[in-house]
Structure 1
Amino acid sequence: MRKLGLSLLNILLVLSVAQAQTKRTLDKIAAVVGGNIVLQSDIELQYAQYIVSGQQPNPAIKCVILQNQLTQKLLAQQAVIDSVQVKDEEVDAEVDRRMRSFMQRAGGQEKLEQFLGRSVIQYKDEMRPDIKESLIAQRMRAKITEKVNTTPLDVKNYFDKIPKDSIPTYNKEVEVGEIVFQPKLTREEKESAKQKITELRERVKKGEDFATLAGLYSQDGSAAEGGDLGFFDRQQMAKEFTANAFRLKAGEISPVFETEFGFHFLQVIERRGETVHARHIIIIPAITDASLERTHKLADSVYKAMLAVKNFDFSSAAAYYSDDKETKYNGGMMLNADNVQTRTTYIPTNKLDPQVALVVDTMKVGSISKPQLFTDAQTGKKSYKILYLKSATNAHKANLEQDFAKLKDAATNEKLNRTIAQWFDKRRSETYIRIDPEFQSCDILKSWITASKKDNAQAKTTE
């Protein structure tokens, strides 16, 4: 609590300085890109947010902020020409995501509104245009690079260009599968949680404040925000949650219902198209010793059955028995969390969950482990797991045979960056750009400043 209070005080101090700066520089134009302008006040407020996020003061960051703004404006400008758009629902979702983050840092909606000096709804309206432009710019960037393709020859050429003394060394990597057994509670074991959530719903129905009760009793991350979940569509929540949320009108409260996460009730705040803004309270039934013992017995029986089969099919066993939705339909294989986009199963051992790494270190390739009890570091949930070591590659210098997938990623990133850079070079040469003298010394803005000076020179020649 003491740490949270200090954070809020810092936010207040930074914003008060930013607001004073905004008043002094409100009409100053920091840059012009075609028909769009970047105000000095926009840069000052973004710099204030940078400080609020916990970073150390660094005025040079304003150069980076302006570069991002210039980039965003140029991409958004082209998006209008190419009819690249984003849906209002996407903008709403991103606004809500950021607002939840702000509220969590400030210590709740009420404190956030206090230091903003206006309601969350008002602040959302102010944020919306810039967030919409940012999302459009992201989509335009994707459109520019959508035809980039990396062939095996591209990968070879990329690798051959790396100086011999600069070839990267990769750490030891493993491919690890898992079958996860989560404890299943009986109706009697769940009764205490169900009774508690029912009592909380009755208190809300009798007039007690929903947000206050959520903050005191709800057992997930939304508790700090009074149970507020922001806007969501029909695909983002558990089916039972969605069924209740989309059936209610604004202000109505659902009955108590159960999902795989626990017992809930919710209140709809607003309906907007195919999205709903709601808040909820959740009570998670406590895992009992008896349920853990039942789970251990099941995991042990599956383990012994797998040992009894000469060439067991781990992927089939994972698909049938595992309770982890992220891995069971992937042959039970864990994915590299740092490279999920390529869905690679090769994980550096230093990136493994320490609990998993400890077990894997004792295993031979092709073997499975006895069921082990694991505790999720974030949620505290307990489960039994059978691990499978599919492969292990020792630390080595990169080569095309072992590391083609990684080298392809690097080659692709190089092509993407080159494509984007070429696009910006061409657009800058065709677009009127003016940079305020205050930012002329920014090294990161050299290419923009060059374009700006050229435009100014052309303007003087025309005069």
Structure 2
Amino acid sequence: MLSDMQFMMKKYISLLAILTIFSVKGLVAQTAAQKSRLIDRVIATVGSSIILQSELEMQYAQQLARGEKPDEKVKCYLMQQLVTEKLLSQQAVIDSVEVSESEVDDRLNRQMQMMVRNAGGKERLEEFLNRSLLQYKEEMRTSVGESLKAQKMQQNIISSINVTPQEVKRYFESLNQDSLPYFNTEVEIGELVINPVLTKEEKDQFRQKAEGYRKQVLGGSDFGTIARLYSDDGSSVQGGELGFATRDSYVKEFSAMAFRLKEGEISPVFETMYGFHFLQVLQRRGEEVNVRHILVKSKPTNASLERAKAKIDSIYDRVVAGKISFHTAASLYSENNETKYTGGMLSNPEDRSSLIPVDALDRATFMAIDPLEVGQYSKSFIFQENPQANPVYKFMYLKSRIAPHKATLDQDFAKIQEAAKQDKVHRKLSEWFEQRKENTFIHINEDFLQCDELKLWLPDEKKTLAAN
């Protein structure tokens, strides 16, 4: 059984998920026979907007495309999303909330990358959609723009919400004290990271590989085919195409090359923090450019890994000997920019507190800190965040360890504060939607009267009908 606090936190997260705008919308092509049978119709009216059957089917098809099992009941939840989105986007227009073309393009490009990966390639996705990706993107541009406006509107509604310590205390005291959640072991830990660095000679093998691919393209080979076969970038499934983006979307070396060339021109091979690239400008549009590229990642050699280990072990020896503090060493020498400015200390991504549940740690980090006493340091070890990332060396510092315990206001203030804030956010959104419901004409087709998720939008007489 869940405790009251856990139940309420789950409830708020669930309710917020309903109110959150899911701006990624899919469109799955139907066969000619299906199209001949389908007559689009209005299934809901929300103020000055309508919701079409085809919009709902698009959302449902996207669920299926992500591998979820067919379930007609899901359409009730999807209708709830569409109604809330229409209310928010209408208010966004009134409040002059703007969404730029580059924001829409960025969302569409991310959506395309996800769909291409799920479909197993660009060609298979286009066959599935029964249209080109370019055509699909243009068809979806308006609805994605509307979704982004709604998302911004929702953020405007809740952006000023904070909770005071007194509100946190009142929230905690309102919970059933006999069924407070039981928290697992938590730790405060730090890390010092050293990346393997390649010499010029070691880098040359990767540069030469990129030069070889460029020669194939210049010699008449299809750029997209070479990208799909050999590029180390995630865009390879799209033939290396990145979509329209502004100058600040890329690292400076990539931007400098992308915005220097003319349409159709192929760049020389150049280096970024990711490795060696060459690119081709496909199209310019104002301050945006659409390029495709091929990346050859610079992967660590055995020699570079040995040099990194020697460097980190030298730092480790100085820290353990007390010649330099861990926090100073991390600030000076660690090559993880996310932690070096906090003296090497990690934070909990859930609530940004310094306490991290041990069951949220990756296996390598857990194995490093598990045998340590508070105040000790692990030996250096090789670490790879994911299969695509380059390996690095790191050693860990255990600052504190809190044993499993029932929630208390003193020990778990950050968690309780976040739960209290989410409670306040939920109430604010509920009040906002309640006001809009009273002042907005909302009509939902009788086919959806049995949807529990939609009953809050129905007038009293229809709620009675739905209950019967």
The TM-score, its normalising length taken from structure 2, stands at 0.89
Aligned residue among 304, 314, 317 for 1:304: 317
Q: What is the rounded CA distance, in whole Å, between the counterparts of 2:358 and 2:36 in structure 1?
A: 53
Q: What is the rounded CA distance, in whole Å, between the counterparts of 2:171 and 2:31 in structure 1?
A: 46
Q: Residue 306 of structure 2 corresponds to which residue in structure 1?
A: 293
Q: Which moved more, 1:445-454 or 1:238-247?
A: 445-454
| Alpha-carbon offset, residue 22 of structure 1 | 5.8
Aligned residue among 446, 452, 455 for 2:455: 446
Q: Which moved more, 1:404-413 or 1:23-32?
A: 23-32
1:315 alignment partner AA: H
Conserved? CA contact 2:99–2:149, under 8 Å: yes
Q: Which runs of 5+ in 1 are unaligned?
A: 1-13, 457-463
1:325 alignment partner AA: N
Q: What is the rounded CA distance, in whole Å, between the counterparts of 1:164 and 1:325 in structure 2?
A: 41
2:434 alignment partner AA: D
Q: Deviations over 1:79-124 (max 9, x none)?
A: 1111112111111110111011112222222222222222211111
Q: Residue 459 of structure 1 corresponds to which residue in structure 2?
A: none
Q: Does 1:373 align with 2:375?
A: no
Q: Deviations over 1:395-449 (max 9, x none)?
A: 1111110111111100000000000001111110111111101001100111112
* Cα pair distance change 1:128/1:30, threshold 3 Å: same
Q: Which moved more, 1:101-110 or 1:257-266?
A: 101-110
Q: Does 1:352 align with 2:383?
A: no
| Alpha-carbon offset, residue 313 of structure 1 | 3.1
* Cα pair distance change 1:276/1:177, threshold 3 Å: farther
Q: Which runs of 5+ in 2 are unaligned?
A: 1-26
SS of residue matched to 2:197: coil
Q: What is the rounded CA distance, in whole Å, between the counterparts of 2:283 and 2:400 in structure 1?
A: 50
* Cα pair distance change 1:54/1:209, threshold 3 Å: same
Conserved? CA contact 1:234–1:242, under 8 Å: yes
Aligned residue among 426, 431, 435 for 1:426: 435
Q: What is the rounded CA distance, in whole Å, between the counterparts of 1:411 and 1:430 in structure 2?
A: 29
* Cα pair distance change 1:16/1:247, threshold 3 Å: closer
* Cα pair distance change 1:134/1:335, threshold 3 Å: same
Q: Deviations over 1:321-361 (max 9, x none)?
A: 1121222223212232444xxx3232110111100100100
Q: Percent identity?
A: 47
SS of residue matched to 1:389: strand
Instruction: Please give the residue correspondences for 1:171-210 in structure 2 after superposition, counting only pairs within 5 Å.
Output: 171-210=184-223
Q: What is the rounded CA distance, in whole Å, between the counterparts of 1:41 and 1:375 in structure 2?
A: 44
Q: Residue 233 of structure 2 corresponds to which residue in structure 1?
A: 220
Q: Which moved more, 1:324-333 or 1:153-162?
A: 324-333
* Cα pair distance change 1:26/1:336, threshold 3 Å: farther
Q: What is the rounded CA distance, in whole Å, between the counterparts of 1:127 and 1:333 in structure 2?
A: 43
2:340 alignment partner AA: K
1:35 alignment partner AA: S
Conserved? CA contact 1:434–1:453, under 8 Å: no
1:236 alignment partner AA: S
Q: Does 1:324 align with 2:336?
A: yes
Runs of 4+ in 1 over 6 A off after TM superposition: none
Q: How many residue pairs are counted as aligned between the two chains?
A: 438
SS of residue matched to 1:362: coil
Q: Which moved more, 1:292-301 or 1:324-333?
A: 324-333
Q: Does 1:410 align with 2:423?
A: no
Q: What is the rounded CA distance, in whole Å, between the counterparts of 1:239 and 1:443 in structure 2?
A: 51
* Cα pair distance change 1:124/1:16, threshold 3 Å: closer
SS of residue matched to 1:254: coil
Q: What is the rounded CA distance, in whole Å, between the counterparts of 1:23 and 1:270 in structure 2?
A: 37
Aligned residue among 381, 389, 394 for 1:385: 394
Q: Does 1:258 align with 2:271?
A: yes
Q: What is the rounded CA distance, in whole Å, between the counterparts of 2:397 and 2:259 in structure 1?
A: 42
Conserved? CA contact 2:29–2:129, under 8 Å: no
1:152 alignment partner AA: P
The TM-score, its normalising length taken from structure 1, stands at 0.90
Q: What is the rounded CA distance, in whole Å, between the counterparts of 2:376 and 2:110 in structure 1?
A: 43
Q: Deviations over 1:155-209 (max 9, x none)?
A: 0111001112331111111122111111111111111111111111111112211
* Cα pair distance change 1:22/1:85, threshold 3 Å: farther
Q: Which moved more, 1:14-23 or 1:355-364?
A: 14-23
Q: Deviations over 1:354-411 (max 9, x none)?
A: 0010010011222222222223333252221121112211111111101111111000
Conserved? CA contact 1:432–1:452, under 8 Å: no
Aligned residue among 256, 262, 282 for 1:243: 256
SS of residue matched to 1:329: helix
2:443 alignment partner AA: R
Q: Does 1:132 align with 2:145?
A: yes
Conserved? CA contact 1:245–1:266, under 8 Å: yes
| Alpha-carbon offset, residue 452 of structure 1 | 8.6
Q: What is the rounded CA distance, in whole Å, between the counterparts of 1:237 and 1:16 in structure 2?
A: 33
Q: Residue 334 of structure 1 corresponds to which residue in structure 2?
A: 346
